[in-house]
Amino acid sequence: MTRPQNFETNFDVVVIGAGHAGTEAAVAAARLGARVGLITSALETIGQMSCNPAIGGVAKGTVVREVDALGGIMARATDLAMIQFRMLNRSKGPAVWAPRAQCDRGLYRRAVRSLLETQANLQTVQGTVARLVLSTDERRVLGVDTLEGRSFGAKSVVITTGTFLRGRIHIGTETRMSGGRAGETATTHLAEQLEQAGLTVARFKTGTPPRIDGRSVDYSALEIQQSEIEQFDYSWSHFWSEKRRTGSTTRHPAQLPCWITYLDAEGKRIIKENIGKSAMYGGAISSRGPRYCPSVEDKIVKFPDAERHQLFLEPEGHETSELYVNGLSTSLPAEVQLEILRSVRGLNQVRMNRAGYAIEYDYYPPTQLDPSLQVKAIPGLFFAGQINGTTGYEEAAGQGVVAGMNAALSLQRKQPVVLGRETSYIGVLIDDLVTRGVDEPYRLFTSRSEFRLTVRQDNALRRLGPTGMQLGIYSEREEATIETRLEHEDSALRLAGATSIRPDQAAPILSVAGSAPLSHSARIAEVAKRQDIPLDKLFQAVGLAADFSAEALVTADLEIKYAGYFERERAQAERMRRMGAFSLDPDLEYSDMRSLSFEARQKLSSLRPRSLAQASRIPGVSPSDLQNLVIEVERRRRLAATQ
């Protein structure tokens, strides 16, 4: 589309799609002062949890808190919709704890929409975007046209279409239909335009399990899993008040249990006998799916010796009896799905509300993006979420907040936000995508980060709050809340180092932990270095705990206990920061650098890293290539300075 035209509304930034990436992108751009239009095919599905009604988990829970630290809304909506909470990895120590919340699907969606509608500079629009309006040379975004005949101007566009680009749903080998999600049409016009623009496109697949009627379940045959709800909030934005000090949890809805059961020999037999009817194993689907969230068919084929597979029955919310069968993602025919369900203990008479399905969709290999998530070939166009080959609500949200910020910053002629691997899991995620690309749907794990001890769920605000402050994204009240939270951490550390505890005060705490008693008074910080001795208990013993928020005490406790480990990791992070400060011009002629290996020249010319740190993570670029690259760049800089 190259024609000039009159637009119904001229926005600074248009965001296409209102899932987890799109809503965060819209809020992030609006917080930076941009006039934002968020366009979605149905306003009622804003913030829809298309698959599992849960937020967080290992690495993912940290991303949620990072998005929140940068002004995002995922954590705030989760706090308002949380119906079950668990802190994963408790047995491995608090440094790697991972929060995970089960949400009321309806409450979550309504909370997201409410948060959007109270955000200044942001307008939601119902419509299906058919095409981008591009400049005559097709090198600049001007706006978008919708299938409904509406046109909107935009200086930047963020595409967050999830699985909707040429989405195709499969149930068995015979039933297939166009769709981006069950009951919602796919987007084809925009997909065709992006391909015609010369972008490389590929296909991935994902899937979802059946949903069942909870009234038809025999709960007496199941294991119950109660919520661990403590006074935990994903978001720092809830002002620390007397209610928080007294442990009130009125912000969260009433908690609900989950139930555990198992797919055993009979269910495995049914799947094996019908494996040829599966869309994936029957040849209807050839795309790769997420390795770490496999279909039940994959589990049976790849783990034939496993006696049984665990299933979680998770409530969809307070206003419905529907349960999500976590662990039974499948593309088998509906009648086979029902047979499998009825083979499971506790589900012998179950009614299936919705069949599971697999879905294939377009994604664009993310090495076509720069670290700001801007498409290299089309300035002003940004991608975020599953369009980049990722999987998961949290990964989408992390990309969304960065893409939204950079879409707005690009209009202000400001430097983009590029989060380092040493500062955040979002930085790891985006660096992995744009530097290494993907050959399967990308999912975050703690093992992907070199800095998982210092990049934790409890300290996201300290790590990323300064970035938000510098950008000016917070309100005055939010700035005050952040300053209060961080001051609590600093004060707790100072007091722990300056306050003594007597042997009689410490004795009950040490005895419970099986730790040796004190022979004389000692600084609280010294006693807190012992494993299984919580800092908050020591403060309570001397009458100081009420002066601090629970979150601040968790962080202070970790800083005391793991100080040596943290110091070594932060030294490594500083080395990475220095490499990141060595910038590389995007127009460098790597082909002329004969001191580099041929493979390195090819990879660097293709990926165009923005820093030495990013170049160091490109497969095929060796340490000797990096040394020679520094020499080549410095030589060119000296020549340029003399001309």
The DSSP code sequence of 494-553 is: HHHHH-EE-HHHHHHHHHHHTPPPPSS-EEHHHHHTSTT--HHHHHHHTT-GGGS-HHHH
The structure's pTM equals: 0.90
pLDDT value at 411 more than 80: yes
Average pLDDT of the chain is: 91
Pick the CATH number of 476-566 from 3.40.50.300, 3.30.1280.10, 3.30.465.10, 1.10.10.1800: 1.10.10.1800
What is the distance between the alpha carbons of residues 185 and 429, in angstroms, rounded to a whole number? 29
Closest CA to 599 of 581, 579, 619: 619
pLDDT in tens, 515-552: 999 999 999 999 999 988 999 999 999 998 777 888 88
Q: How confident is the model at residue 93 (pLDDT cuts 50, 70, 90)?
A: low
pLDDT at residue 460 in the model: 96
At 530, the amino acid letter reads R
Structure tokens at 362: 């377009």
pLDDT in tens, 125-134: 999 999 999 9
Phi, psi (rounded to 5 degrees) for 292: -95, 5
DSSP label of 162? T
pLDDT in tens, 298-313: 999 988 889 999 999 9
pLDDT in tens, 587-609: 899 998 989 898 889 989 988 88
CATH number corresponding to 211-355: 2.40.30.260
Q: How confident is the model at residue 243 (pLDDT cuts 50, 70, 90)?
A: very low
Q: How confident is the model at residue 249 (pLDDT cuts 50, 70, 90)?
A: very low
Pick the CATH number of 582-642 from 1.10.150.570, 3.20.20.370, 1.10.760.10, 3.40.109.10: 1.10.150.570
Report yes or no: 388 and 400 within 8 Å, Cβ to Cβ. no
Average pLDDT over residues 566-571: 87
Report in angstroms the alpha-carbon separations of 536 from 75, 150, 252, 489.
25, 58, 24, 12
**E-strand spans in 331-441?**
352-354, 357-363, 381-383
Report in angstroms the alpha-carbon separations of 439 from 203, 366, 398.
10, 11, 20
pLDDT at residue 429 in the model: 97
Strand (E) or helix (H) holding 18? none
What is the distance between the alpha carbons of residues 457 and 463, in angstroms, rounded to a whole number? 10
Residues forming a β-bridge with 582: none
pLDDT in tens, 458-467: 999 999 999 9
In degrees, rounded to 5, the angle at the alpha carbon of residue 465 between the alpha carbons of residues 470 and 419 is 80
Share of the chain above pLDDT 90, in %: 73
| Residue entry with tokens 């100081």 | 544
What is the distance between the alpha carbons of residues 545 and 536, in angstroms, rounded to a whole number? 6
Residue 550: burial class (beta carbons within 10 Å; 0-12, 13-18, 19+): middle
Share of the chain above pLDDT 70, in %: 96
pLDDT at residue 242 in the model: 38
Q: How confident is the model at residue 138 (pLDDT cuts 50, 70, 90)?
A: confident
pLDDT at residue 221 in the model: 96
Structural domain boundaries in the chain: 211-355, 476-566, 582-642
Q: Where are the alpha helices (DSSP H) in 542-607?
A: 550-561, 563-581, 598-607
Give the three-class secondary structure for 38.
strand
Range of 175-179, 266-270, 571-575 with top mean pLDDT: 266-270
Q: How confident is the model at residue 123 (pLDDT cuts 50, 70, 90)?
A: very high
pLDDT in tens, 57-87: 999 999 999 999 999 999 999 999 999 999 9
Average pLDDT over residues 219-248: 74
pLDDT value at 230 more than 80: no
Average pLDDT over residues 277-283: 87
Report yes or no: 50 and 1 within 8 Å, Cβ to Cβ. no
Q: How confident is the model at residue 317 (pLDDT cuts 50, 70, 90)?
A: very high
Answer whether 476-566 and 582-642 agree in fold: no
What is the distance between the alpha carbons of residues 598 and 637, in angstroms, rounded to a whole number? 23
pLDDT at residue 462 in the model: 95
Structure tokens at 121: 């500079």
pLDDT at residue 137 in the model: 77
Structure tokens at 366: 């993310």
| Packing angle, helices 550-561 and 476-498, rounded to 10 | 50
pLDDT at residue 569 in the model: 86
Closest CA to 170 of 141, 206, 119, 128: 206
pLDDT value at 259 more than 60: yes
Give the three-class secondary structure for 429.
helix
Average pLDDT over residues 258-266: 96
Residues forming a β-bridge with 55: 101
pLDDT value at 3 more than 80: no
pLDDT in tens, 340-365: 999 999 999 999 999 999 999 999 99
Average pLDDT over residues 14-31: 98
pLDDT value at 5 more than 90: no
Q: How confident is the model at residue 6 (pLDDT cuts 50, 70, 90)?
A: confident
Report in angstroms the alpha-carbon separations of 285 from 169, 209, 288, 550.
10, 17, 9, 49
Range of 174-178, 236-240, 397-401, 481-485 with top mean pLDDT: 397-401
pLDDT at residue 139 in the model: 79
Whole-number CA gyration radius for the chain: 26
pLDDT at residue 94 in the model: 65
Neighbouring C-alpha atoms within 13 Å toward the C-beta of 639: 6
CB atoms within 10 A of CB 532: 12
Q: How confident is the model at residue 240 (pLDDT cuts 50, 70, 90)?
A: very low
pLDDT at residue 516 in the model: 95
pLDDT in tens, 172-208: 998 899 999 988 999 999 999 999 999 999 999 999 9
Residues forming a β-bridge with 84: 102
Q: How confident is the model at residue 250 (pLDDT cuts 50, 70, 90)?
A: low
What is the distance between the alpha carbons of residues 22 and 401, in angstroms, rounded to a whole number? 9
pLDDT at residue 211 in the model: 98
pLDDT at residue 284 in the model: 83
Q: How confident is the model at residue 450 (pLDDT cuts 50, 70, 90)?
A: confident
Structure tokens at 10: 């001229």
pLDDT in tens, 150-165: 999 999 999 999 999 9
